[in-house]
Amino acid sequence: MLFGRHKNKLPTAAEALPGRGEPEFGVPDRHTVLGNPLTGPYPEGLEVADFGMGCFWGAERKFWQTDGVWTTLVGYQGGHTPHPTYDEVCSGMTGHAEAVRVVFDPAKVSYEQLLRVFWEAHDPTQGFRQGNDVGTQYRSALYTHSPAQQTAAEASRDAYQAVLADAGHGEITTAVLPAADRPFYPAEAYHQQYLDRNVDGYCGIGGTGVSCPVGIARTDG
């Protein structure tokens, strides 16, 4: 994840690579750790949430290790280029962030608890980077799937900003945006559950050490 022609400015829709109408590759049928299908349709009662927090290899592992998560898959989201490849995303000319799609059972883990994993596992104040990983693809982002998720995400951001400021950290740069008009494109098969298949693989994410006040961030929506 350290290689590629990094960019520090998001392209406009007119500047972005054109992409393609269909994906160039498929994804595995099942999760190597959880054993469940990677793509939908998912069983009734499960919910979907999308998180961008830097290198998606380490980010995905954080979520598959969380009780109540049914499956995870990594991909590209938030940009303009349809069905991009990894090389295209690394060029900085798609506008996409590396993202993790998390499918979870809300009877076992709440969206607010997943937000706590998100905030504590990376530094949301770094803009177009995460640690040594530099470029727009490594930005922090939350792509929400319902008004309730949007409300909870915004509340958690505001609550976490307060405790980060008290600890001497800067402003959160995380985008909180509806997923409806920001399609999620699954990444190539070799990226899926990468750190399960490559136990000594690179993981570029790391938190601030500041705990997220989940109870403050929780909503009843």
Residues that are catalytic: 55
CA distance 62 to 73: 12
User: Would you mind telling me the total number of residues written for the chain in this entry?
Assistant: 221
Cα–Cα distance for residue pair 43/184, rounded to 1 Å: 19
DSSP per-residue codes, the chain? ---S---SSPPPTTTS----SS-SS---SB-TTT-SBSSSSPPTT-EEEEEEES-HHHHHHHHHTSTTEEEEEEEEESSS-SS--HHHHHTT-S-PEEEEEEEE-TTTS-HHHHHHHHHHHS-TTSSSEETTEESGGG-EEEEESSHHHHHHHHHHHHHHHHHHHHTT------EEEESTTS-EEEPPGGGTTHHHH-TT--------SPPP-HHHH----
Burial string for 95-113 (b: 16+ CB within 10 Å, else e) reads: bbbbbbbbbbeeeebbbbb
